[in-house]
Amino acid sequence: MKDYKPLLIFSVPFLTVCAGLYHLTFWSTFGINGLAYIGLQDLIKSFVYPFISLFILFILGASFSETLFSSDKIFPSGGGRYTNSGKKLNSKIGISIALFFWLSIVLILYFNDNVQRWYLWAAFTGIVPITFIDRIEILHDYIDNAKIRKYTIWLLVYIPLFSFASGKYESQLIHQNLKYKYTIRQKAIPNSNLFTTDSLKFIGNTDKQIFLTDFTNSTIYILRADNIDTLILKQHE
């Protein structure tokens, strides 16, 4: 590695933006501007889940890649590019066709109704950006080691993609009543008859607010955390 300081400096705003991206996609499912309610502490806490999910998949992917492609005798580096098939695939027509199919699959997955598709969408969407960043050699001036450079590119692409996908996946599970926490007949605000929770879904919370909705997602209730007396939640899966 020639100079790691620019990468370290870049990583701070990059990870902050990725954490904000998770909030943006999560709360937008319910029509809430999550960025208007969250603070730095919320960004750090909420980013743990997508980062752990990505880290597990990253380890599995890296292990698979090293096992399958580590032998240059079996898969020589760049060897397939100069065959007849490789030349056709790397021609302008071949690249255009590949991009068309890639974009089509990305859009089909994005607009599909199946909640489970989000991580598949993120994994597939990252293929072209990873290939593009590698081809333009943008990190070659900073990272000499080819393997470290490859995995750095993976992280640069997949961290924001999986932050986006995690927000969508988690929020749609709640929105579609597939997996959520719910309240069980209790007063949420002490000494008040204005609000009594009765089988409302728990959307989530920030450091200062708690968000609830009904099972049709028609009404959003935003409560101040310091006004909550007791909130008992049960898990539904």
Q: How far is CA 138 from the centre of its chain?
A: 24
**Least confident range of 3-12, 37-46, 135-144, 211-220:** 3-12
* Model pTM score: 0.78
Interatomic CA distance for residues 157 and 160, integer angstroms: 6
Q: Please check the confidence at residue 91 and state whether its pLDDT lies above 50.
A: yes
Report helix, strand and coil shares of the chain as percent, to nearest 5: 60, 10, 30
Rounded (5°) CA angle 168-38-164: 20
Digit-coded pLDDT (tens) for 124-141 = 999 999 988 888 888 777
For residues 223 and 195, is the Cβ–Cβ distance under 8 A?
yes
Q: By C-alpha distance, which of 181, 192, 186 is closest to 215?
A: 181
Digit-coded pLDDT (tens) for 152-202 = 888 889 889 988 998 999 999 999 999 999 887 665 555 555 455 567 899
